[in-house]
Amino acid sequence: DSSPYGPRQFRNFAPMKMLRLLFLCLIALPLTAQTTKITVEATGCKAMNLYAFDGGTFEQVMPLKTNDSGVWEAYAPVEGPTFRYVGSTPADELPVIIGGDEAMTITGTCGKLRNVQVTDSPINKKYQELKRTFQSHNRDFSGGMRAYQQAAVKKDSAVMKQEMAALANLAQRKRTLFEKTKKENPVLARVVSMNTYLSFLNENNDRFQNELDYFVNTYFQFVDFKDEGYNDLPWTYEGNRNFGNTLAAAIPAERLGDIMLAVYDKWPAGSRAQFFAMSGGFAALAQKKHVATIKVADAITERFNKTYP
C-alpha cells in the first residue's frame, strides 16, 4: 500500500530543536553542486518554500521569491539529485528531485500542490511515471492475489494456475524495471527498490515456512543497505512505514517490535538511513496504537540520543 507522494503520516513525532538545527546546518553547507532553478506558477499562494524531510518533520530550506509577474522562483543548490519539497506550507507540498536538471516549472493551485504538474525536468517526469507504475503494480498484485485466493476456495486449479502465471509475469516486470532504472538513475533506483515486493506464491520456493516469514525477510531484498544514498531519501522512511503498516495488521503482539528492530539492524548503525527507517516504522505503529510502539520508540531514543540530542 505504498503512498505515491512520500511521507505525510509522521508529523506528530517532531525531533528536538537541536536535531532541526543540525539538519539545516548540514544541508546549508557550501556546495559545488549544480543549481536547479525552480519556478512555481500557482494561484492562491501567500508564500512558497523549499522544504527538506528530516525523518520527523518538514523543515524550511529556503523561501521562493515572487518576480514582477507574480511567479515564484528560487535557485536551489544541492550536491547531486536530491529529494526536496516545494509548497506553500508543509501540509501543502509536492515532492520533487532537484539537482538532476537545470530547471523545473511547477504549475498548479495552492491547497492542491500534491496534484500539480512538473515540466521542463526529465528526472521529475520519470519519477511521476514511476509512481504511476507502482500504483499499477499494486493493483495487479492485489487483484491477482484476490483472484487466486477465491479460486483456491473453489478449488479451481485452472484459475489458480492462471493467476500464478500472471503474478510471475508481474514479478518479472518489477525485476526488469529495477534493473533498467538502476542503470539509468541511482536515485530513482533506490525508490524502485523500496517498491519491489515479489509474490510469495511464485518466489518462495520452499525457502521460508510461511508467507509472514517470507515477507519479513524479502520485503527489502532489492535494497543495498550499505548505499549511503538512502541517508537522504524520504522513501527510506516511506518504505519502512509501508512495511510497518502491513506487519502491524498481521502481528498484533509486542514481539513485532523485535522483528522490526532486527530488520533495522541491517542498516549501518547510527546512520540517517537507519533513523529514517525506524521513524517510518514507528509512525506506522503509533498511528495504529500498536502494542509494540513503545519498544520501537525506546530503541530510537537509545540509538540516536547522542546523535540527535
The pLDDT of residue 27 is: 42
Is residue 238 within 8 A of residue 6, CB to CB? The reply is yes
Mean pLDDT of 43-59: 91
Asked if pLDDT for residue 148 goes beyond 90, the answer is yes
For 13-43, write each residue's pLDDT tens digit. 444 444 444 444 444 444 345 789 999 999 8
Confidence of residue 69 (pLDDT cuts 50, 70, 90): confident
pLDDT score at 33 = 53
Read off the amino acid at residue 307. T
The CA distance from 144 to 305, in Å, is 44
What is the pLDDT, as a whole number, of residue 9? 40
Q: Residue 156 has which C-alpha cell?
A: 479451481
Contact 171, 145 (CB under 8 A): no
The pLDDT, as a whole number, for residue 115 is 82
Sign (positive or negative) of CA dihedral 259, 263, 265, 269: negative
The helix/strand/coil state of 58 is strand
Cα–Cα distance between 122 and 128 in angstroms, integer? Answer: 10
Q: Is the pLDDT of residue 275 over 90?
A: yes
User: Distance between CA 148 and CA 140 in Å, rounded?
Assistant: 12
Mean pLDDT, range 249-260, rounded to an integer: 97
pLDDT score of 55: 87
> Of 4-13, 88-97, 180-189, 230-239, which range is least confident?
4-13
DSSP 8-state symbol, 49 = E
* Amino acid, res. 300: I
Rounded to the nearest integer, the mean pLDDT of the chain is: 89
Nearest Cα neighbor of 241 from 85, 5, 4, 7 is 7
What pLDDT score was predicted for residue 273?
Answer: 97
- Which of residues 54 and 262 earns the better pLDDT score? 262
Band of pLDDT at residue 93, cut at 50, 70 and 90? very high
> Mean pLDDT lowest for which of 60-69, 209-218, 287-296?
60-69
Render pLDDT for 177-226 as a digit per residue (tens, 0 to 9): 999 999 999 999 999 999 999 999 999 999 999 999 999 999 999 999 99
Average the pLDDT over 43-55 and give the result: 92
Residue scoring higher pLDDT (2 or 138): 138
pLDDT band at 308 (very low <50, low <70, confident <90, very high): confident
pLDDT in tens, 96-134: 999 989 999 999 999 999 888 898 999 999 999 999 999
